[in-house]
Structure 1
Amino acid sequence: MLAETICSAVSAAGLGIAAVTAYRRRFLTATRIVAYALVPLGLVLTGAVEWIASTAFSPAAWVGVGVLGLAWVLFMTTRAVERRSLGRAAKGGARQGAIAPSASAPAPGSTRAVGRASRPAAPPKGKPRTAGQDDDFSDIEAILKKHGI
């Protein structure tokens, strides 16, 4: 009886707050507050409050809650282990089927490969580079040469 009274009072207070919020023209927030305020009232009307009160003081009910908690922990543990093993399998498969570095080059006999092969290399323009500059850009030059640029 006390639980029903408390739930009804909480619902009434929530509806009052929603009315004030709606008065301030914040209708979306007011609707959310009404939804939350109706939950305790719905629990009272369905009899769930009585059932919860009788369950809260029952030792057998708490043992049941513990068993359900253990089952949930076991489910989550197996799920985590399964995801971990699938992740490792996917990484291992990616290593075996990795693309070779030469795979980015065009296929032999394609028009782009023929066009590059028939084109003579352009002589370097401007003044010759010093040894310090050559070290800085050697990686970039290798990449550009690989792609025929």
Structure 2
Amino acid sequence: MDPQAYLLPLCVGLTLLGVFATILTWQFSKRRGKVVQVIGLTLLPVGLYLSGLLLIVWNFVAAVVGWVTSVAFTPMIWAGVGFLGLAVLLWVIGGILVARRTNRALKATSPAAAGRPAKEATPKSVSGPGQQAAPKGAATGDPEMDEIEELLRRRGIE
């Protein structure tokens, strides 16, 4: 059977479904940008069909499905796919656990959590032309820079 025989009804059906979605979006959404996006998606199947690109997409999907049914249904390949999925899942879970542990450690070492005042008073020193620069960790006189230095010091960055 020729793919063109069932691609046209499929495109007409998808377009009618898109028109229905456009009407619902117009009725219930106050954002007109969403309506324009739904209209664009509605026109997509017809544009693909009329340009001939839908037949190319159809042939590509048919080739992939043919490959999957001929090759991918062996137990060895499915075991490999299962291990790949497990590896990705464990990687994501590990990243979440590391992020949670880091957040807890930062909260535990913050001055507010330890009952100390949020900003300790440090003497301000201004270095003139004949004076030495302030030692590392001392206030610079600029309150914004002092705050940035304090944040860096709290995180162990100096």
Q: TM-score, normalising length from structure 2?
A: 0.42
Radius of gyration: which is bigger?
A: 1
Q: Does 1 or 2 have the higher relative contact order (CA < 8 Å, sep 6+)?
A: 1
Given the two structures, how large is their TM-score scaled by the length of structure 1?
Answer: 0.44
More helix by share: 1
